[in-house]
């Protein structure tokens, strides 16, 4: 596993893009909307990892709910894996609980699943595999 990216929930992608472009000294390499998840994302390369900024695209979006409850900030940590189905089986066998055990299409050409934060010290953990 490696840290593939950190997801950061933001209220305004435009404002956050301005800030992160200045902070990192480079522009994002893509914007991508994931309508099923109710998010618009912006990705930055940082060494071997990435930053994923997440803005809600509707009031029912998990990102809207996260920001209402906890404000802007780190939303999830994503571990890149070579075989997501094997990792799901391995972690299920160790008692980890998934929000959904079926990998879905995520942003940035990935198959993704999320572990329930109740079983990971309150941190939302994403597993992702390059498609």
Task: Give the footprint of Zn ion on this chain (CB under 5 A).
Answer: 7, 52, 78, 126
Nearer CB in complex with Zn ion: 7/103 = 7
Nearer to Zn ion, 91 or 128 (CB): 128
CB of 5 to Zn ion, least distance (A): 6
CB nearer Zn ion, residue 37 or residue 91 = 37
Rg (CA), the chain: 14
Rounded least distance, CB 106 to Zn ion, Å? 6
Nearest 10 degrees: CA dihedral of 79, 84, 89, 91? 0
Strand-pair category, 104-106 with 110-115: antiparallel
Give the nearest distance from C-beta 49 to Zn ion in angstroms: 11
* Residue, CB closest to Zn ion: 7
Considering the complex, state which of residue 53 and residue 93 has its C-beta at the smaller distance from Zn ion. Answer: 53
Distance CA 63, CA 109 (A): 20
Cβ–Cβ < 8 Å for 124, 78 = no
């Amino acid at each position: 596993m490696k840290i593939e990216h950190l997801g950061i929930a933001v209220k305004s992608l435009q404002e956050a893009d301005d800030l992160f472009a200045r902070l990192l000294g480079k522009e994002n390499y893509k914007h991508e909307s994931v309508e099923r998840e109710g998010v618009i994302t912006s990705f930055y390369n940082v060494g071997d990892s990435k930053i994923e900024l997440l803005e809600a695209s509707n009031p029912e979006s998990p990102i809207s709910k996260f920001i209402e409850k906890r404000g802007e900030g780190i939303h999830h940590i994503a571990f890149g894996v070579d075989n997501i189905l094997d990792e799901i089986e391995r972690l299920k066998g160790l008692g980890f609980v998934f929000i959904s055990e079926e990998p879905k299409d995520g942003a940035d050409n990935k198959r993704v699943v999320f572990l329930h934060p109740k079983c990971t010290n309150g941190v939302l953990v994403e597993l992702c595999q390059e498609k």
